[in-house]
Structure 1
């Protein structure tokens, strides 16, 4: 993704960061995962005025992941959930895994057991450059396979079962997206394969044989400061998809919004908008899971390893009785 020059955001985004503790160590890394330490702080929605929630949408808690500058636990670009764990990918080609924790009301309140492992290329080796490892999206198929989407050099690679990841991924058909910052940015598993979207526009459904265009890219490339699709997941109720979008205008205007997307790839109703002076950041990932009364959405922000930005994981609940 395009790195954001988020000058001056520290004070405005710092509201409502509560006390927290270090993430619990994860014992045993014979499977390739290495424990990583981070401070986990609870966060609220911050100063009123910048949050708009549609009827039937409510905030369900959130945390901030705080890691030392230069640590590998930065640049988290997408996430999905598996067996109560968050599975995230970084734009340097690392996987991150952690266990969600909740308070008595069921709101997101913590993240424990954080661990990390590096992805590898088709030769089974670490990526030689950051551009090679620029992973911006991930999906977990119905069979449990992990698929990673890369942006700078567009690829879709399957690493096999999440609990038995392969060192040598299998290439899958990839949409005809341009290399660079306008390319492959969002990915989700559907009933018949994968759905992918580019930051510069366009939606494709990808089967094992090929990718079919569902919504074409715009005839005119999006301008700086336009809304961009940065993450996607399928509605667990089977009724369409959810997307997260980002808007950034230098130096201070950073916004995010959650909305629906229909089967034809057309954006639908906006469910939530985050902007200053409330809590917001560079949100790039979304995961949807079925809850007791509806759907819960998790959104994840990419801090670009920039001390003026934050890695945030926020939750929102959608009442199944509302649109």
Structure 2
């Protein structure tokens, strides 16, 4: 979660940091959709810049909406010609861009189910702290992991109803503000669940490997670890076409602001005690246009590997919801 540093972001803005201001907002398109997209450069001070590390910039947009429920994007997947994204206040966002980068459809809703307060009172936004999302392309089903509850909900392919939920014992000791942060459904039906701050083996962050659907119970998951690069923390992950895992990592410091690292790790050895380490593909620091990058998705287009990133604006008017599109040009 990123809310713990919002106060620091305010201090940086007052001090004249370029963290929030990197890249222009652009003019919001006057279109009859719930979400609007305005183009943004990779580097506002150098608009012709396209390459950073092993990434080639294909485009970027600031996403806005008049709907106050829009924001807080924490995970997303590609479905058909567009995106399905979830927010850490229980938002459900579906949208698509045309070839020119304009919104061609958009919808804002709420997750139909999720954790409820222990006291049985009214559901608050903090109770629906959705941080991770996975989808089965064959059945269309979705899985959402909620951080504070450290549990899973499975939804039908239309995202109309919840089918099942579980709070695995193996996740019970994960920090309420550093729990389930990334989730990947492997092609064979296994699930990897990454904790943002839960302790794993060898000074790593804990990762759980479920042999199947995590809401179905059964055998206890295998305990693994992930050691992020340069003291960053994982915020999302997505499978690459070659079976490796692409990982989005984020850090924050008062002096440097937000830093984002995209890295790749192999999944060839997934046994109890394995510590996953990754190789850096690209590092994005100011003045590159970034914010609190929390969502990652991957697709293939004409043999190219396309990487999408989106940011969580924390519902803070000084932050932005960014959607960035890259081609992965370095396959290490």
Question: Which range moved further: 257-266 or 304-313?
Answer: 257-266
Q: Which digits, 9 at most, give the CA deviation of each residue in 1:224-270, with x for residues without a partner?
A: x93000001111x2321111011011365111121112214623222
Query: 2:65 is matched with which residue: 59, 64, 67?
Result: 67
1:285 aligned residue: 295
Change (3 A) 1:155 1:304: same
Judge conservation of contact 1:259–1:267 (CA < 8 Å) in 2.
Answer: no
Map 1:131-280 → 2, pairs under 5 A: 131-142=126-137, 143-161=139-157, 163=158, 165-166=160-161, 168-172=162-166, 174=168, 175-176=170-171, 178-191=174-187, 192-200=189-197, 201-206=205-210, 207-208=212-213, 209-210=218-219, 212-213=221-222, 215-216=224-225, 226-235=231-240, 237-250=241-254, 253-263=257-267, 264=270, 266-280=276-290
Secondary structure of residue in 2 paired with 1:144 = coil
Tell me the number of residue pairs that the alignment of Structure 1 and Structure 2 aligns. 296
Query: 1:211: Cα distance to partner?
Result: 5.4
Change (3 A) 1:185 1:275: same
1:313 aligned residue: 323
Higher strand share: 1
Q: Which stretches of structure 1, 4 residues or longer, exceed 6 Å deviation after superposition?
A: 49-52, 122-127
CA distance in 2, matches of 1:123, 1:137: 14
CA distance in 1, matches of 2:317, 2:299: 31
Change (3 A) 1:185 1:247: same
CA distance in 1, matches of 2:129, 2:294: 13
Judge conservation of contact 1:74–1:302 (CA < 8 Å) in 2.
Answer: yes
Secondary structure of residue in 1 paired with 2:221 = strand
Judge conservation of contact 2:50–2:57 (CA < 8 Å) in 1.
Answer: no
2:202 aligned residue: none
Higher helix share: 2
Query: 1:22: Cα distance to partner?
Result: 3.7
Query: 2:75 is matched with which residue: 73, 78, 89?
Result: 78
Change (3 A) 1:227 1:54: same
Unmatched tracts of structure 1, length 5 or more: 26-35, 104-108
Judge conservation of contact 1:199–1:229 (CA < 8 Å) in 2.
Answer: yes
Q: RMSD across aligned C-alpha pairs, in angstroms?
A: 2.9
Give TM-score scaled by structure 2 length.
Answer: 0.79
Q: Which digits, 9 at most, give the CA deviation of each residue in 1:271-295, with x for residues without a partner?
A: 2221112211100010011121321
CA distance in 1, matches of 2:121, 2:323: 27
Secondary structure of residue in 1 paired with 2:278 = strand
Q: Answer 1 or 2: higher relative contact order, Cα 8 Å, separation at least 6.
A: 1
Judge conservation of contact 1:63–1:110 (CA < 8 Å) in 2.
Answer: no
Secondary structure of residue in 1 paired with 2:29 = strand
CA distance in 1, matches of 2:115, 2:234: 31
Q: Which digits, 9 at most, give the CA deviation of each residue in 1:119-144, with x for residues without a partner?
A: 13369999712232000111111321
Query: 1:17 is matched with which residue: 10, 21, 25?
Result: 25
